[in-house]
Amino acid sequence: MNKEHLVESARKMRERAYVPYSKFPVGVALLLKDGTVINGVNVENVSLGATNCAERTAIFTAITAGYKKGDFQAIAVAGETVDFLPPCSICRQVLAEFCLPEMPVYLTNEKKDILELTLRELLPYAFTDLDM
């Protein structure tokens, strides 16, 4: 699957987000090495602390489906923002737990531009099991 199709999958998911408080829908498309795409959306909660981001929703869904660390090939993140929409710091750390540092990360904006980074570029000093 090319990056444009992955980004489009993430964009389509935004309509499924549960965002009654922020009104800020985010969609994610997570490409697995076997070609499977698992999508995620942000799911808010009135307590805010119980809110789950789209990136973690997709990753946790993949783990629940039986995928393992290293099975992830690329991720696309889509919102309606002027700038490119990056994952939050918690999601970056979760990505570092399950994905290789060279995995492509595709960020988008409201103009449908795509910024391609590696996970290492997104999180250059990741805390990993090597730091334990």
Q: Which residues are annotated as a binding site?
A: 53, 88, 91
How far, in Å, CA of 61 to CA of 119, rounded? 20
How far, in Å, CA of 71 to CA of 14, rounded? 24
Annotated binding site for Zn(2+): 53, 88, 91
Indicate which residue of 8, 44, 55, 102 is catalytic. Answer: 55
Pick the closest to residue 51 from 31, 82, 15, 22 (CA basis).
22
55 is catalytic: yes
Catalytically annotated residues: 55
